[in-house]
Structures are given as C-alpha cells and as structure tokens.
C-alpha cells in the first residue's frame, strides 16, 4: 500500500466523535503494525470500551521516540453535509489534494507516522525504540484517550515526542489552555408594566459583561512569544422568558484562553475578583462551574529537537520555526511522559479542519513523511 492509498484508506474508515467509536480504525492501524513486526497493544477505558487506542512499538532500549496522532474526527454536522462537494469518506483526489473528513485532522499525520514505522521496520537494527500512539478521544478533550493512557501507565517515558497536528510543517512548541466558567446573576421578577418594583438580572449581567470585556482588554498586556495573548470571550448568554416580565435570572458562559505558565488557580481568582468588584445593587452574581484544559509548552534545545528542526529546514527550504499552535492538542496530556522535548508537527492548516471539503495537499503530506523519515534515519538508524 503506497502513501496515498494508505491515507485514502484511513479516510474511508469513519471515526466521528461523538459517538467516538474508534474500534475499526484502531484495528486497521494495529493490523498494519503487526504485519511489519511491531509489538502491538490495544487498550480502552472501562468507561468507554469503544474508544479503542492502538500502541505499536518497534526496536528496543534507549532512546525512545514517540509518534502520536489521534484517530477520532469531529462528526459531520447536518448544516455541513450539504456543503461538501465530494463524498466525505471517499478520499477523493482533486487538484493535488486528498479530500475527506479527517484527511488533515488527523489522518494525514497518522499516515505519515505509520509510513515512518514501516520504514523503521525495514532496518536491520534500530538504535532505540520507536513508539506509535494512535489515540482516541482527542476531539472531545482526550480525557478517555491520551490522558487515560498516560495516567494508567500505558505510555512509556520518551526522550522526544512528536504530536501530529496541522502546523504547516513547522515545529510548534506551545498552545494555549482553556478555562471555562459560568456567571449567573439573580434578581426579582415582576410584571413589566412597573419594572422598578423588580430587580432585572439581565441588566445586572450587562455590568458583568462590560467588566469582563475590560478584563479581556487588560489581558492584551500579557504576551507569549509564540502563542500571543490570553483572552476572555463570552460565548453564550441565557436569560428571561418574555418581554413583559422582569427577568430574575441570567447566565453567561465564558472561555478564558490561557497562555503557557499561567496558573489556573490564579486565573480563577482573577475571574472571581472581576465579578466581586461590581456594585450590582440588589442583584447578585456568582461565578463557578470551572472546567480547565491545560496549556502546553516545550523547549527545542535537545539534540533530537535540533535534528528535527534541521530536517524540516532541509525538506521545506524555509524557516522551521518554532511557532505556536492556536488550537489545543493531546500534547497537554503527555507532559509527564516527556522526559525530553516535545513538538507539535504536521501538514496543512487547522483552518481547513472541522469544515466542509476538508483536505490535505499531497505535497504537504509527502513533505511531512519525508521529514519524519529523514529525522529517524538521522537519530535511530545504525
């Protein structure tokens, strides 16, 4: 199976999440890896046995290098389906690009990594161990995928980790974390014919929104060298039932993006301070329901990172980075597994992922594969 046929086959195995059933694609990866002589384990959490992960290893001893890609994709939304110009799971090729759901996110990085494993299997001996992790559940946060694998001790400590995502074949060393929260205001509901008898929770929330917008602007003073500024966005507002009644409740849901090294507890305290500083009169406000997803960052000063950067530069003929990666990734769950540097790397742009006519150019896909092969030949092959 050549490189294009391999990627097409991966696209042809649907793995949308939700529902997150990755058994078919995990089995395909396992079958291919066993066929080339890898030691293969397939693991799934009891809480979701259909979220199957495949881990393949070849070689022995130190160093250990991990290739990590996720095997689940976002689903095709009803509003998206009619916008596709090709069949989403056919893997059609048009104008030098392969189209399909998951083609760029994350099956092209996965295919390149599988090809790297196949190339390693042809060597008489490896100067270390190469590990492929084909992980479930990334698209819904990785809690029952990579995080579960790491927390349960199923992943070996590695000297260098490559997490496959869409970086335009540049080396990304950081992404933001996320703090989600809900703010709720409460008041007193009365008939709108005489609203001053009541306490309007939506009016109180307007003051909260203005304060959070000011907080967002203050955050622009904090700048990370590759991922930019932290942000605070209000994405949802709910309140009221009818125009002729004063609302007694209102809620907003916010997204606070955290740059690397921001302390999540300090961020919670900042958000609470914004709310507690307001004079809302007889209305009340509280913030809670915090949900945190970690940030990731790494250095690129190890011998493996330096070698990888050189390989990128040689193949693409351009600056290899480092750059930031604006979306999140499973790298955040691998920081305890990494005993050396970790990077995010892969073809194309996240801007065409999660959308109709998702695609990867074959040239970018080939460059990713070439870079991985060049790196492994430089570091693991005798």
Residue 1: predicted pLDDT: 73
Q: What is the pTM of this model?
A: 0.92
Looking at the predicted structure, is the pLDDT value of residue 362 above 80? yes
Q: Are residues 146 and 229 in the same domain?
A: no
Q: Are residues 123 and 240 in the same domain?
A: no
Which range marks the domain in which residue 181 is found?
177-293
Q: Are residues 283 and 156 in the same domain?
A: no
CATH number, domain of 74, equals: 3.40.630.10
Q: Are residues 29 and 134 in the same domain?
A: yes
Q: Are residues 286 and 299 in the same domain?
A: no
Share of the chain above pLDDT 70, in %: 100
Q: Where are the alpha helices (DSSP H) in 230-355?
A: 264-276, 303-316
pLDDT digits (tens, 9 = 90+) for 125-163: 999 999 999 999 999 999 999 999 999 999 999 999 999
pLDDT digits (tens, 9 = 90+) for 183-206: 999 999 999 999 999 999 999 999
Omega prior to 106 cis, within 30 of 0: yes
Q: Are residues 49 and 156 in the same domain?
A: yes
Residue 87: predicted pLDDT: 97
* Tokens found for residue 62: 């130190």
> Are residues 66 and 160 in contact, defined by beta-carbon separation less than 8 angstroms?
yes
pLDDT digits (tens, 9 = 90+) for 34-51: 999 999 999 999 999 999
Last-in-domain residue among 293, 327, 350: 293
Mean pLDDT of the chain: 97
CB burial of residue 31 (10 Å; 0-12, 13-18, 19+): exposed
Last-in-domain residue among 250, 267, 293: 293
Looking at the predicted structure, is the pLDDT value of residue 180 above 90? yes
Secondary structure (DSSP) of 169-184: T--B-EE-EEEEEEEE
Q: Are residues 211 and 299 in the same domain?
A: no
Q: Are residues 54 and 162 in the same domain?
A: yes
Q: Are residues 131 and 274 in the same domain?
A: no
Q: Are residues 158 and 299 in the same domain?
A: yes
Task: Read off the DSSP letter of residue 270.
Answer: H
pLDDT digits (tens, 9 = 90+) for 292-351: 999 999 999 999 999 999 999 999 999 999 999 999 999 999 999 999 999 999 999 999
The three-class DSSP label of residue 293 is strand
Last-in-domain residue among 276, 293, 310: 293
Number of domains in the chain: 2
Task: Read off the DSSP letter of residue 123.
Answer: S
| Spatial distance between the Cα atoms of 153 and 322, rounded to a whole number of angstroms | 30
Sheet of 97-99, strands arranged across: 93-94, 97-99, 359-361
Q: Are residues 49 and 170 in the same domain?
A: yes
Average pLDDT over residues 247-264: 98
């Amino acid at each position: 199976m050549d490189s294009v046929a391999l990627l097409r086959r991966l696209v042809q195995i649907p793995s949308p999440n939700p529902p997150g059933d990755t058994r078919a694609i995990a089995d395909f990866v396992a079958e291919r890896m066993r066929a080339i002589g890898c030691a293969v384990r397939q693991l799934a959490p009891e809480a979701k046995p259909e979220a199957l992960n495949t881990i393949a290893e070849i070689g022995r001893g130190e160093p250990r290098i991990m290739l990590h890609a996720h095997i689940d994709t976002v689903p095709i939304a009803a509003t998206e389906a009619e916008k596709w110009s090709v069949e989403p799971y056919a893997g059609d090729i048009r104008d030098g690009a392969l189209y399909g759901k998951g083609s760029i996110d994350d099956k092209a990085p996965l295919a390149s990594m599988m090809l790297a494993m196949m190339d390693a299997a042809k060597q008489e001996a490896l100067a270390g161990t190469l590990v492929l992790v084909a992980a479930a559940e990334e698209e819904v946060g990785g809690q029952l995928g990579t995080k579960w694998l790491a927390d349960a001790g199923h992943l070996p400590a590695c000297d260098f980790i490559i997490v496959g995502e869409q970086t335009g074949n540049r080396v990304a060393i950081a992404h933001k974390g996320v703090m989600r929260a809900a703010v709720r205001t409460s008041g007193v509901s009365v008939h709108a014919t005489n609203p001053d008898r009541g306490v309007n929770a939506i009016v109180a929330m307007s003051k909260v929104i203005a304060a959070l917008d000011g907080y967002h602007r203050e955050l622009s003073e904090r700048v990370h060298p590759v991922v930019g500024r932290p942000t605070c966005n209000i994405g949802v507002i709910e309140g009221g039932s009818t125009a002729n009644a004063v609302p007694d409740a209102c809620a907003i849901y916010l997204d606070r993006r955290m740059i690397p090294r921001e302390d999540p507890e300090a961020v919670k305290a900042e958000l609470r301070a914004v709310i507690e500083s307001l004079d809302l009169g007889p209305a009340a406000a509280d913030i809670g329901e915090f949900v945190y997803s970690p940030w990731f960052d790494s250095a690129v000063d190890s011998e493996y990172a330096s070698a990888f950067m050189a390989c990128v530069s040689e193949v693409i003929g351009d600056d290899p980075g480092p750059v930031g990666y604006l979306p999140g990734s499973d790298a955040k769950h691998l920081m305890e597994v990494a005993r050396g540097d970790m990077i995010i790397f892969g073809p194309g742009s996240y801007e065409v992922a999660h959308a109709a006519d998702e695609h990867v150019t074959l040239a970018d896909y080939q460059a990713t594969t070439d870079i991985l092969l060049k790196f492994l030949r430089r570091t693991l092959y005798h």
